[in-house]
A and B are shown apart, each in its own frame.
Chain A
């Protein structure tokens, strides 16, 4: 667990993956991932379908149980502890959730709760996790909805909103947890093309405010403009990683070259 002192201006490590391996029965999806994500930085994870990029993201907040290696968040190993003999053992879920109190996730399918109004969705982490009093929670939730431009829909139910609006509410709900790290699992993949921009704009603002973000995405434009680091995943391994200028303009791996060619031939001008 490398952890810089932050007396100097070097950002500390927010998420560290060490030889991370994940299997579904005999099918190994992540084959030893080593990755460092610094606080305040935006890391985009790109790759074809089945490359393991979503699984990698879901291992970070233990939606997927990994078998080998480590996921460390601010130096703390997620999901596993040691028993008396020094063997690794799964921690109870409630403890894992405490370890993940600085992490939140935005999903491809938004996953808003349909029986709660927009405001109630955003208030949920404040009321039910943090125990904030009602009036204060309401005020904070409205602030967050304003931030994502959705305060005018506070009283409606999520299913009456467009996909882009639902995703912005979902981002506000995640922010209500007050996380230091935000995970985005293909946040714009389920959206109609004309709705992608409004969600990316909110994400870009978050990045500018210094949120640590890990984004699995097919939006190469966003990855090129906003990220500090791009990771290209292929067949469960990191094939190439580095600053976006390097990966998009001078990719060295043949797999990445062909991935980018396919992408740009399908999307017109490359990023």
Chain B
């Protein structure tokens, strides 16, 4: 029968793992938003070489498994003399991965902006940066918020893969304890519920922000 007492006994370790998962995921999402924003600007710019770089980057990171990307960063970069802590490697990889997805989400948002919005900004006298900062970005973020929340949830779930490069995240803790206690089902059910709790919290916060930002 299921016996969760062993899980309760190790609750602090699981909570620590969950905090690691959440911390790494949210930090990667934030970094990825900055990277994705820049990448999106490159992708929609008028300069062919910038567009080219952005396209190659985006297809490479969208078109290969995250697990492969993690392995390359963690095992390959040290060969070039760049040795990384597992946590740093995890954040860099997740941020690079999500930046490609976020760039495409944001690009979709830019495409839905009516041309007249920019024309009004031009005639008023707003330059490129101020048009981006005051007119385009606020509208694009509002329009793409549901997709960005979705991407955040994806990253939290996909971050379970960083357990393969020895980050002590929720998944890794659950694995470790299930093999030492011979109670895998209890630990994985608990881990699953904890992931669900985290992603649900993100969804709730996302909906709240969406309501606050609606016009």
Decide yes or no whether A202 CB sits under 8 A from chain B.
Answer: no
Interface size, chain A (Cβ < 8 Å): 28
Q: Among residues 65 to 114 in chain A, which have CB atoms less than 8 Å away from a CB atom of chain B?
A: 93-94, 97, 100-101, 103-105, 107, 109, 111-114
Residue A222 interfacial (CB < 8 Å): no
CA gap between A173 and B124 in the complex, in Å: 8
When C-beta atoms are compared, the residue in chain A nearest to B123 turns out to be A105
| Interface check A124, CB cutoff 8 A | yes
A129, B126: Cβ atoms under 8 Å?
A: yes
- Are B215 and A159 in touch, CB under 8 angstroms? yes
For A103, what are the chain B residues with a Cβ–Cβ distance below 8 Å?
123
Q: Which residues of B contact A63 (CB under 8 A)?
A: 119, 122-123
Q: When the two chains form the complex, which single residue of B116, B125, B128 contacts A111, counting CB atoms closer than 8 Å? A: B116
- Asked whether A97 lies within 8 Å of B127 as measured between CB atoms, the reply is yes
CB distance from A170 to the nearest CB of B (A): 8
Task: Name the contact of A104 in the complex, choosing from B116, B124, B138, B142 (C-beta under 8 A).
Answer: B124
Closest to B119 in A: A63
Taking the nearest CB of chain A, how far is it from the CB of B211, in angstroms? 14
**A177–B128 contact, CB under 8 A?**
no
Of the residues B116, B122, B130, contact of A128 by C-beta under 8 Å: B130
Say yes or no: A114-B120 contact (C-beta < 8 A), given A124-B126, A129-B125: no
- Answer whether residue B76 sits at the interface, using C-beta atoms and an 8 A cutoff: no
Cβ of A47: which chain B residues have Cβ within 8 Å of it?
none
A229 interface residue (CB < 8 Å to B): no
A174 contacts chain B at the CB level, 8 A cutoff: yes
Count A-B contacts at CB 8 Å. Answer: 63
User: Please, which residue of chain A has its CB at the minimum distance from the CB of B118?
Assistant: A111
Contact with B along A151-185 (1 / 0, CB 8 A): 00000010100000000001001100100000100
Q: How far is the CB of A225 from chain B (nearest CB, A)?
A: 26
CA distance A157 to B138 in the complex (A): 14
Contact partners of B120 in chain A: CB under 8 A: 107, 111-113, 170, 173
Q: Which chain A residue lies CB-closest to B137?
A: A115
Task: Check: B15 CB closer than 8 A to any chain A CB.
Answer: no
A268 to chain B, nearest CB (A): 32
Complex CA–CA separation, A170 to B116 (angstroms) = 12
> Is the CB of B102 closer than 8 A to any CB of chain A?
no
Residues of B within 8 A of A124 (CB): 124, 126, 134
Task: Give the contacting residue for B123; candidates A94, A113, A174; CB below 8 A.
Answer: A174
B150 at the interface (CB under 8 A from A): no
Contact B116 A115 (CB under 8 A): no
B45 at the interface (CB under 8 A from A): no
Q: Is B114 an interface residue (CB 8 A)?
A: yes
Contact of B159 with A by CB under 8 A: no
Closest to B133 in A: A128
The answer, yes or no, to whether B117 is at the interface (CB within 8 Å) is yes
Tell me, rounded to whole Å, the shortest Cβ–Cβ distance linking A128 to chain B. 5
How far, in whole Å, are A177 and B122 apart by their CA atoms in the complex?
Answer: 12
- Report A-chain residues with C-beta under 8 Å of the C-beta of B134: 124, 128
Once the chains bind, are A111 and B122 in contact (CB under 8 Å)? no
Which residues of chain A come closer than 8 Å to B130, judged between CB atoms?
128-129
Report the minimal beta-carbon distance from B167 to chain A, rounded to whole angstroms. 39
Closest partner residue, chain A, to B124 (CB atom): A125
Which residues of A120-164 are within 8 A (CB) of B?
124-125, 128-129, 157, 159
Interface residue A217 (Cβ < 8 Å from any Cβ of B): no
Instruction: Please tell me if the beta carbons of A177 and B127 are within 8 angstroms of each other in the complex.
Output: no
Task: Name the contact of A61 in the complex, choosing from B123, B139, B142 (C-beta under 8 A).
Answer: B123
* Distance of B44 from chain A, by nearest CB (Å): 16
Pairwise interchain contact B124-A100, C-beta atoms closer than 8 A:
no
Assess whether B135 is interfacial by the CB under 8 Å rule: yes
Q: Kindly state the separation between the CA atoms of A61 and B114 in the bound complex, as whole angstroms.
A: 19
Chain B residues within an 8 Å CB radius of A174 = 123-124
Contact A97 to B116, CB < 8 A, known contacts A115-B215, A128-B134, A157-B215: no
Q: How far is the CA of A170 from the CA of B120 in the complex (A)?
A: 9
Q: Which residues of B contact A105 (CB under 8 A)?
A: 119, 123
How distant is B95 from chain A, measured CB to nearest CB, in Å?
Answer: 28
Contact with A along B193-215 (1 / 0, CB 8 A): 00000000000000000000001
Q: Nearest 5 pairs between A and B by C-beta?
A: A111-B116, A111-B120, A129-B125, A105-B123, A157-B215
A to B CB contacts below 8 Å, 8 in the list? A61-B123, A63-B122, A93-B127, A107-B116, A107-B119, A111-B119, A128-B126, A157-B215
